[in-house]
Homo-oligomer: A and B are copies of this chain.
Amino acid sequence: MESLAEVGYAATTVAVVAARAGVSRGAAQHHFPTRADLFAAAVEHMTEVRLAEIRSQAAALPVGAGRTEAIVSMLADVYSGPLFRAALHLWVAASTEEPLRRQIVQLEAHVGRQAHRALLEVLDVSERTPGVRETVQGVLDMARGLGLAALLTDDTARRRGIVRQWSKILDQALATS
């Protein structure tokens, strides 16, 4: 994932990853027969690590006023970090490479569901309330868009303003739905 984020998809070969990991190319290929297997395993592993981190950070979130902003801010930071940057390289590569595309789509469905569920949980809202599902999905899509905006420049200041405003909007929307 570090290699993807730093040098991109084309330059992230099994040999390059093996060298970074300090293992032989043969050992890497024994565990991950194809490059797509290696990428899929890396995304899945990093996502599990990241979700566990989020769950542990969630315990430290403020209760009451400021909670929603802390949540949206945490989310926007995750999507502007190196894991999302690596995932972007992989998604774009997958869009024109068929075996990789199928693997990433399957994985993405799983990761997307996990992120959605985690967000409902920390916001303490239920999908059974009409509109909540789409409201929460839209916040995840906004976080992805913010991650994309952070790809080429430091977008921190702009992101902070949007997070603050959208947290207010989200609080209102969830209170009235």
Contacts and interface: CB of A to CB of B under 8 A. Distances in A.
A166 B138 contact: yes
A120 interface: no
Contacts of A149: 141, 144
A173 interface: yes
Given A142-B141, A145-B144, A162-B141, A151 B92 contact: yes
Number of copies: 2
A104 B148 CA distance: 13
A9 to B, nearest CB: 8
A59 B96 CA distance: 36
A169 interface: yes
A75 to B, nearest CB: 11
Contact of A10 (B10, B138, B168, B173): B10
Nearest to A101: B152
Given A91-B148, A140-B145, A134 B104 contact: no
Contact of A169 (B91, B161, B165, B169): B169
Given A134-B164, A142-B145, A169-B173, A92 B95 contact: no
